[in-house]
Amino acid sequence: MMSLPVVAILMPGDMGHGVGAALGAAGHSVVTCLTGRSDATRALAAKAGMQDASTLVSLVESSDIILSILPPSAAVMQATEIAAAMRQAAKTPVYVDCNAISPTTAREVGNIIAATGAIFTDAGIIGLAPGKGGGTRFYVSGADVSAMLSLDGKGFDVIGLGEEVGRASAMKMVYAALTKGTWTLQTAVMLAAEKLGLTEELSEEFAFSQKPALEAMRARIPRLPADSQRWIGEMEEIAATFGGAGVTPHFHEGAADIFRVLAQTPFAGETRETIDTSRTMEDALKVYAGVKTNKE
């Protein structure tokens, strides 16, 4: 009986540890590298049952598939470090970039990995982490996506989008352009109302004429700072994607600006596990309004 491929995950954050836990439950050995990582990351890795390979070279030597799941700003550097580790280990596991990056950045990462002789797969994740309500989907593209397709149904769905590197990343970009773009637009609207002294009156109008939108804003706006720092880069990648497609990038450049504001608040130090769920939208807006920006 053939053993299941060993999967490496870099890094075991909210999404990464959820994917790792799902694969572990499906019988895969899951490894990561915790050198230099925070206590919070180590705790998530332990929760997911991941093994610490201690170095990237050891991780490459012990794995068959590497899933890169980290902030988009680190995607190219991570690929460069893994490519160096592959050369040192003289082994080339399949490398899957699962980050929220533009098609152009995905191709850059792909070229770095392809230079080692390894198979590269472009991937975009849509949905919450496995174990948080279901419906996690990995869209994948590339000349050979068989390694990822072999993981289909193991806590998440894997959906092929063809052989062209960049298609999966583009899918993630246009999807997140709506979801996170909507959240930042709503935050911008309410922040402007707060600064104009109209929060109460606008909320009353929304309660009358836009009740579902108001309910969504009350649920989402106070919680955004916890993810704001890493979503700045994602909005920049979306803007680059739109610009490359001949569509204005300015909506999502503005979305990045909103996340920059939220990243300067005291709430940005929270994690998804430690968010103060008693904080109201009104409480949050008062703090957001106190952040000075380079436009003021």
Query: To which H or E segment does residue 96 belong?
Result: strand 94-97
The position carrying tokens 């957001």 is: 288
Q: How does pLDDT run across 168-180, given as a tens digit for each residue?
A: 999 999 999 999 9
CATH of domain 7-164: 3.40.50.720
Q: How does pLDDT run across 187-208, given as a tens digit for each residue?
A: 999 999 999 999 999 999 999 9
pLDDT of residue 134: 77
CA distance 4 to 188: 48
Q: How confident is the model at residue 146 (pLDDT cuts 50, 70, 90)?
A: very high
What is the average pLDDT across 276-289? Answer: 98
Which residues neighbour 24 within 8 Å (Cβ) at sequence distance 6 or greater?
A: 30, 48, 49, 50
Q: Tell me the domain boundaries of the chain.
A: 7-164, 170-288
Instruction: Show the 3-state SS of 142-196.
Output: CCCCHHHHCCCCCCCEEEECCCCCCHHHHHHHHHHHHHHHHHHHHHHHHHHHHHC
Classify 170-288 by CATH class.
mainly alpha
Pair of tokens at residue 281: 């939208």
Backbone angles phi, psi at 274, to 5 degrees: -110, 10
Contact of 241 with 102, CB cutoff 8 Å: yes
